[in-house]
Amino acid sequence: MAHDPVKARVAAALTGVLNPRVGKDVISAGTVAGIEVQPDGKVRLAVLLRREDPASLAREIRAALRDVEGVTGVKLDFHDPASGTGPSHLPPSHGSVEPAQPTPKATLAPSARQLPHLGRIVAISSGKGGVGKSTVAANLAVALAAAGYCVGLMDADIYGPNLPRMFGIVGQQPLVLDGKMQPVEAHGVKVMSLGSIVERDAAAIWRGPIIQKIIQQFLTDVEWGQLDYFIVDLPPGTGDAQLSLVQSVHLDGALIVTTPQEVAVGDALRGAKMFEKVGVPVLGIVENMSYFACPHCGERTAIFASGGGRRLAEELGLPLLAEVPLQAGMPDLSETGVPVVLGEPGSAAARALLDLAAAVVQLVSGQSVRLPVIVD
């Protein structure tokens, strides 16, 4: 309905939201490319979100519609104009916006397959580097193994394979038996990483086909045995490794790791949308470096702003599964190959990561568990 009064009120409200990248409101700028109002008052917006746009823009759009008469809910369908897909811009001079083009239904890539021996497969992802994604992956795997599960951990961070150092297995190369690589075991976890195969100073200058082949080999040419959980540490961003993984194997879910800063949250938002487009359920958000707790008095200090992970979870309609604090001594533990859930099991960071592991079990298998403090 071109003259739907609710749609007109929505469009008018959105003219008050500025896109600072272009200096125009989101209607005039074409950032909101389509509006669809359902009979029950739920509003669906097609949003063209570029990489340069601030992550707060989605939150501001939602806030602008919060008190609009007749609106009972808001769903944002994100599109990346750089990809060449998504709805076309609509003339802002009309004073109204046409319905959004239907979003393609998310489907698994045709070549994705089930590998039952790997158990539940969970990818750990982040929009940008330096947010502690590999730390989360390592501690999640160790926590699950300590609870009695058979766990494999695949380091798919081709350009920065750091898991061997985090597990204290630097220099231990996987054996090859009957044509199959044997993962290196540490802390009860079977680990396979490119860092255990190539020289430390070898530059990974590889294009997509090579990355895809490495990931497929790690999935099929490694003797993982029968696992309960298979954790995949992905590289940051939304590149070849992520697409190769979802095309190669069916994933039970993904965790998005971010820090509280808006610069990290914006990239994490795009990462979550990538999984949504390829049919991989995002289990929830993990906010790392949430705060620093003084080891003497317990006072909390927000070193990297605060609340970014929670705001991201709210924007995506996902649970915030963990707020992991900064902790003195964690870098030293990583350097010596001891994840914090083992090295300082009673710490706030370890408790948050143990709770995260319990939440993952609940989400992907339906089992309600409480993981005990680990005594190695």
CATH 3.40.50.300 domain range(s) in the chain: 116-365
| CATH 3.40.50.300, domain 116-365, yes or no | yes
14-41: per-residue pLDDT in tens?
A: 999 998 888 899 999 888 988 999 888 8
CB atoms within 10 A of CB 107: 10
How confident is the prediction for the chain on average, in pLDDT? 81
pLDDT confidence band for 110 (50 / 70 / 90): very low
On whether the pTM is more than 0.85, the answer is no
Find, among 132, 102, 105, 127, the residue nearest to 51 by Cα.
127
Under 8 Å between Cβ of 289 and 304 = yes
**Residue corresponding to tokens 């239907």:** 102
| CATH 3.30.300.130, domain 5-94, yes or no | yes
262: tokens are 């808006």
196: tokens are 């255990």
CATH 3.30.300.130 domain range(s) in the chain: 5-94
DSSP state of 301: E
352: tokens are 């948050």
Q: Helices 308-316 and 262-277 meet at what angle, rounded to 10?
A: 30
Under 8 Å between Cβ of 308 and 329 = no
Q: How far is the C-alpha of 212 from the C-alpha of 348, rounded, in Å?
A: 38
Average of pLDDT values for 329-358? 88
Q: Give φ, ψ of 53 to 5 degrees.
A: -70, 145
The number of helices, as runs of H, and strands, as runs of E, in the chain is: 11, 16
Residue predicted with more confidence, 203 or 345? 345
pLDDT at 152: 97
